[in-house]
Amino acid sequence: MSLARTHILIISLVLLSLLFLLASQTNHSPTLIASALTSRLLFAANFYISPFSSVSSSNTCLVLDSESNCTLSSVTAVETAHANSRKDQERYNRIKKLSSCDIFNGKWVADNSEPLYKPGSCPFIDEAFNCFKNGRPDSDYLKYKWRPIGCQLPRCDGGKMLEMLRGKRLVFVGDSLNRNMWESLVCALRDSLKDKSRVYEVSGRQRFRTQGFYSFKFRDYMCSIDFIKSPFLVQESKFSDKSGARGETLRLDMIQGSSTKYCDADIIIFNTGHWWTHHKTFKGYNYFQEGSHVYNKLEVKEAYTKALKTWAQWVDANIDSNRTRVFFRGYSASHFRKGQWNTGGSCHGEMKPIASDTYIATYPWMMRVLESVIAEMKTPVFYLNITRMTDYRQDGHPSIYRQREIPRGPGMFQDCSHWCLPGVPDSWNELLYATLLISHYDFTGK
Ligand SMILES: *[C@@H]1O[C@H](CO)[C@@H](O)[C@H](O)[C@H]1NC(C)=O
Ligand SMILES: *[C@@H]1O[C@H](CO)[C@@H](O)[C@H](O)[C@H]1NC(C)=O
Ligand SMILES: *[C@@H]1O[C@H](CO)[C@@H](O)[C@H](O)[C@H]1NC(C)=O
């Protein structure tokens, strides 16, 4: 098991205990939470400012910037222009309803529709997420759909989504859980192509774990879907001193260097979370650095807050919000039982989502920090609040099917933090699809 792997997997139980420790210390007043909620709801409706009146009949764009340029091209423009039929009207009403609905508040319901791509059909899924190929025998975990209270999510239509992304660059920036979501999106979009050879990874790689940058191109849409590894969002710094002793710090005041590679993307989806419970981070001794100062000891919560503020300042200073849509994907829940990842913790044998809210964890302190940081930014950031929806899905992890090797003895580590693909991250992409769809309509004053 690689060191990086170790880092990623170590977190989960530590986090759970942290939640309990720190939940009592969070100092968010009910008013603050209420106002954060309000601002997010406003975002849902107003995230894409799209003056309907400026759409001319010759323009295929519904979303225009101040220069009358397309910011997101529209596949629905033609349909809307002829939006007289009842079907179009129903569709319009459905999406309108979505725009005022909290799509993250809901339930998983049994659903018999096919996954967005067939198990085992997509060549771009890392072995560690490819439960079907690794022999997972049960398949009920593929048969749940996320159902928000008060609205219905449209099924992700890969062809339509690609049309929305025509000429665009969408970049995932974050840790291996964002890689999980990225692979899910690439596979969902790929499935809509008649000729599957029209999508390729630019470096020609078949595995997507080790490098810092990967890019999938969809030739016929001049669109790219990229992943940039940046587990902390801020910069890790490795050095060796004169005696040759090696050290490592985390620069809380410096955005990770790869940021120049994506600041001009059209859509960016950030995340960070699981690495902040890494033992070394957690203990926080001689690890966190600002300028030339290395803290002897800094609480991880304080360090995380500083790092997110560094990220927020960078976004506000470098992202042109007239061009680039910024998303932040929230904390994805883990389900290690009876131990940690390396002490026999397991989720093997779970075949159903958690049914009772009693067993759902407290909302993570990291996400409370995130909400308060986003609330102070001038760039609109759409928060994909997926913590709770993932918390139900104890059944969706690779567990022992994270690898093909047999035997899978009792001593083997289980993966109860990433997700099988197809699986739970497909739903995150359906939520992303829904927010993009909303962008094609304007509901203000209607
Ligand atoms: C679109 O934006 C570019 C600059 O990004 C500008 O040169 C061009 O004139 C704009 N097009 C329209 C139709 O305004
Ligand atoms: C975005 O467009 C608005 C309206 O033209 C303008 O006032 C604002 O400065 C622009 N923002 C950025 C970040 O360029
Ligand atoms: C995100 O979801 C949690 C429930 O899991 C909720 O407590 C929190 O307020 C939500 N945040 C926002 C900004 O809606």
Query: What residues have CB less than 8 Å from 285, skipping those under 6 apart?
Result: 296, 297
**For position 408, what pLDDT does the model report?**
64
Q: Determine whether the shortest distance from the Cβ of 69 to ligand 2 is under 6 A.
A: no
Q: How far apart are CA 370 and CA 353, in angstroms?
A: 27
Token readout for 335 is 């389900």
* Probe target for ligand 2 pocket from 54, 66, 325, with the most ligand atoms within 8 Å of CB: 66
Please list the active-site residues.
176, 415, 418
Q: How far apart are CA 34 and CA 258, in angstroms?
A: 35
Reported confidence tier of residue 410, pLDDT bands at 50, 70, 90: low
* Probe target for ligand 1 pocket from 56, 58, 67, 322, with the most ligand atoms within 8 Å of CB: 67
Question: How many beta carbons lie within 10 A of that of residue 237, not counting itself?
Answer: 13
Q: How far apart are CA 59 and CA 217, in angstroms?
A: 26
Distance 162 CA to ligand 3 centre (A): 30
Q: Determine whether the shortest distance from the Cβ of 322 to ligand 2 is under 6 A.
A: yes
Residue whose CA lies nearest to ligand 3 atom number 12: 37
Are 205 and 211 spatial neighbours (Cβ–Cβ below 8 Å)? yes
Q: Determine whether the shortest distance from the Cβ of 68 to ligand 1 is under 6 A.
A: yes
Nearest ligand 2 atom to the CA of 321 is 13
Buried b (16+ CB within 10 A) or exposed e, 10-27: bbbbbbbebbeebeeeee
Q: Determine whether the shortest distance from the Cβ of 100 to ligand 2 is under 6 A.
A: no
The mean pLDDT of 181-190, rounded to a whole number, is 98
Three-state DSSP at 94 gives helix
pLDDT surpassing 60 at residue 404: yes
Pairwise pLDDT comparison (327 vs 25), residue with the higher score: 327
- The mean of the pLDDT values for the chain is 81
Phi, psi of 272 (to 5 degrees): -160, 150
Tell me: the pLDDT tens digits for 240-285?
A: 877 877 888 999 999 999 888 898 899 999 999 989 986 667 678 8
Q: Which ligand is nearest to the CA of 386?
A: 3
pLDDT surpassing 80 at residue 129: yes
Distance 123 CA to ligand 1 centre (A): 39
* Probe target for ligand 3 pocket from 103, 104, 376, 377, with the most ligand atoms within 8 Å of CB: 104
Tell me: the pLDDT tens digits for 349-372?
A: 999 999 989 889 999 999 999 999
The residues spanned by each domain of the chain are 3-49+104-424
Q: Determine whether the shortest distance from the Cβ of 381 to ligand 3 is under 6 A.
A: no
Pairwise pLDDT comparison (313 vs 78), residue with the higher score: 313
